[in-house]
Structures are given as C-alpha cells and as structure tokens.
Amino acid sequence: MKSIFSVLQKIGRAFMLPIAILPMAGILLGVGGAFTNPTLIQTYQLNFLAEGTIMNKILILCSTVGSLVFANLPLLFAVGIAIGLANINKETAALSAVLGFLIFHTVINLILKFMGITPDVVSVDYLMQAGKSVAEAQGIKASYASELGIFTLQTGVFGGIICGMVSAYVTNKFSNVALPDYLAFFSGNRLVPVITILIFIPIGAIFPFFWPAVFRTIVKAGEAFSAMGYPGTFLYGFSMRLLNVFGLHHAIYPLFWYTPLGGVMEVGGKMVEGGQNIFFAQLADTTVKHFSANATKTMTGGFLPMMFGLPAAALAMYKTADFKNKKIIKGILVSAALTSFLTGITEPIEFTFLFVAPPLYLIHAILEGLSYMLMQMLDVAVGITFSRGLIDFTFFGLLQGMSKTSYQWILILGPIYAVVYYYVFKFMIIKFNYATPGREGAENKLYTKKDYQEKAGEDKLLTDIVESLGGIDNIQNIDACITRLRVSVKDETKVSDDNRWKELNAKGVIRSGKGIQVIYGTQAEIYKNKIRKKYNI
C-alpha cells in the first residue's frame, strides 16, 4: 500500500506541471469568449467591443491563444509529465517527450494507412453509407483524431501521459550510461534520444492493434459513471475531498477532466473528451446556448464549500476560541478564509482542524459531495481552471451569464452553505471540545510566516526543514504542488515527529513509507525552490 501511495504521489506531482499552464489559458479563453459575445455587447451597448473593432480583434486573439493550449493538451502533458517524473536531466526528458510524441503518432499514422484506415473512411458520412447507424458511425469516428496535423488514434491525454512516462524512464535509465570509446559520442544525454526513437517505434506500431478496444472500455467506464447519476456525482465529490488529505486527488481528477472518463461530446463538429476540455470547447463555440452540466459535474460542486462553507467554518473556529487567544488567531483564520474564498485553495484552513478534529473533515467531505450533486441537479455549469474560488467564478460564471451557466444557484445556495458550516462546526467544536486554534489545550497553534521569520529568519527555516527531513543526504527528491512539499526520503525514520513540524509552522504532515508531504500552504512552492537552490538539488 505504501509503495502504491508513493507512486500515486509522484504521478500526482507530475500532473501539476502541465495543469499549471491551464489557468492563464482558461482566463484568456473566458475573457475572449465573454466579451466577444454579441448578446453581451448589444445588451450593455459595448460598441467599442463590436465585431471589427481593435478591441474585438485583441479579444479574439486572446480566445484563440487559450483554445490553442487546450487543443494541444496531449503534447503538454507528455512534456510536463516527463519533466515531473525525471529524477535527473529534466531538459533531456522534455526533448525526449516531444520526440517520442511525434514518433508515436507518426508510426500510428503509418500503421493505420497499412490497415487501410484514413480520415475519409472513418468519416460519419462514409460509415453511414457503409450501413452503420448514426451512433455507430459517430462512435467509430471518435476513435480517431489529429495530433499536430497527424491523423492518428484518439489517445488524447492518455497518449501524452504514456509518452511522458516512457520518456522519463528512458532519461532516468540511460542519461548516465557510458558507452565504449568508439561510441562515446552517444554516451549520457545523447543516448536518450537514440533510445527514445528505438523504443517509440514499436510502441507506436502495436498501439493500433489494442488501443481501440482500450478506448471503448474507457468510454464505457465514463458512461457507467454517468449512468450512476446524482449518487455517482456525490461519490466523486466526497472521494476527492478525502483523497485530498493524502494529496492523491491530483492523480485522479485529471482523468475525468481530460479523458473519456469525464465524457465524450461533439462540440463545433469535433469530438471532445474530458469534462474540462468539453467546457472550454463550448466556451469557444458561440453557438452553445447552455454549457453542459454533465461535463462540469466534476468541477462545479466545489464552489459552495470553498467560497462559502470553509470561510464560515473559520468564523466558527474564531467564535469558539478562548477570548485571550482570539487576537492571536484572528489574522491566521482571516487569511485562510480569504485564500479559500478568492482562490479556492483550501489546505491552509482544512489542516487547521483536520488532525485535531477528523470528524469535522468527514462532515466537510459529505457536504462537498452534496454540493457536487446539487450543482448537477440544478444544471449549474461553471467550469474552472485552477480552483473553485471567486476568481474562477467570475471568469467562468459571472462573465458568461446566467443563461449559459445557471450560476445564480451558487449565489442562492452559498449563504445557506455558510450557515450550515458555521453552526455544524460551532456545535461540534463545543460539544466535543475539539482543540481547534485558539482553544485551551490546542496543540496545533499556528504562526504566520511573518511571525516565524521575525523569530528565526527564513534561511534558518529552510535549514530546519531539511534537517527535519533527516538531512540533505536523506532526501532523494523534493518537489511541491500548490500547498505541499512532496518529498521522497531514503529513511523515513529520520524524519522528525509532528511536534517538530508544528514548530516549523507546518499545517500538517502526511507520511506513507518513504513518501512525506509537509503542508505549508501557498509557500510550499517557494520553499521547494529555495531549498533546491540552497542545496544545489
């Protein structure tokens, strides 16, 4: 189990790099789509945005650039995952991923030609003339796609993930190989592209013989998830919140956002797979009347707990704190609440109560699952790029309008969710005397970054973090997601206990074998970069 946790943690960490590109692309697409909408321009008489104006052309440019990113996600995932999983020579892994991706799809294209499969013979019209029904024809056509102008199998992001993983493996395995003198030129990094070519030729050659069956199985799994209806959506939201404790949600949700597990839909004459991909394809299509709530069902449900619920929970913790401590914890809780409300980053507030009051986290997960289900039931379709805070709500809800998103339900149910969170948390904290921040006997007293820097200085903090991980020699790899340092260590017994991490201002620690996650909120990425620079990792 611990080895599985370690693998999933590493995969989730690798996913974060390509996913980090999407917020800016989504904002460009959202702004471009909203302010080139003829209805919005006409309703508010925004004539300076009308078709043909300079501003209109700039906005179309923004929308086009955003669409470009989403259209090339498989390649971006290939490169991002190769960099994320490579332990050494990450730039070589990136080059290997691009090379492997091109070879992979070129070889698939050639094998399909040998099999007599071309774009013409998989068109809906051709297949219907051959006796297929409309549904059968569309299903067959959906099995094929174009990647960088290459006709190939519809491997989508899965194909990118495979290319990235193989490229990282090749880089880790062959970067330091020394060949005999007469082949010395091809030693080390130069050997990686050679092996990449040799490996991806057979991989691409065998794919057409088994991938169509795999693709159909994935589509069936996505259909089965949809067939579960509202209970399935509840289970998804509930499970993702529980997995968030271990940082494993990053390894799961991309499969629903970018692959057929999240649905397959025709948008603008093209088959699009994955919930987030469908949303942004519809965002770029001006003919869409209302975005698909089925596509966004793995996204929209987080707005209620993140924008309204958790800030109310922070208020409950403040109200139940001892009077003498309220001034101390006020800044901490306000900062955590604002972070959740504005950006949808929840760890800073969740980990203030998770370890001292696990039942509160379970209730939080249940309420989040209910929110996901409610949003789908009410046909709310507000997509996201980064997280479910005010920023994404503005770009992909407010600016797109009620008619396309039904965002009004978030504003209607949000205050109700806030009341529920507040009174449930307040009741539970008082009833069971949970040692939440500011209460007598609380061991998880938090300090702001400023407080600690004044006490010890940031350089000492970085040194202490490394020493608490067992020293630099005990660290195999150190990385970070949005809120956590993700570390692989050689000997987990050398890692300091939780009390030491609390002294170092950590919100919590997750341990599973040699995989260690230290929650530092939004400072995690900064600490990771500074530690790498300080110790030349």
* Amino acid present at 79: V
Determine whether 410 is exposed, middle or buried from the number of CB atoms within 10 Å of its CB (0-12, 13-18, 19+): buried
In the three-class reduction of DSSP (H, G, I as helix; E, B as strand; rest coil), residue 516 is classed as strand
**Which residues, 6 or more positions from 174, have their beta carbon under 8 angstroms from its beta carbon?**
191, 192, 195
- 14, 112, 374, 481: which is the annotated catalytic residue? 481
User: What tokens were used for 132?
Assistant: 């297929």
Strand 508-512, strand 515-519: pairing: antiparallel
Tokens representing residue 216 in the block = 């159909």
**Residue 75 identity (one-letter amino acid):** L
Secondary structure class of 510 (helix, strand, coil):
strand
Give bridge partners of residue 423 from the DSSP assignment. none
In Å, how far from its chain's centre is CA 295? 16
Contact 312, 421 (CB under 8 A): yes
The DSSP secondary-structure symbol of 398 reads: I
Report the alpha-carbon distance of residue 149 to residue 167 in Å, rounded. Answer: 22
Hey, what are 112's tokens? 């399909």
Identify whether 62 is a catalytic site residue: no
Cα separation, 406 vs 402, in Å, equals: 4
CA dihedral 321→324→329→331, nearest 10 degrees, is: 130
Tracing tokens 């972070």 back to the chain, one arrives at: 339
Spatial separation of the C-alpha atoms in residues 31 and 33, rounded to whole Å: 5
Active site residues: 481
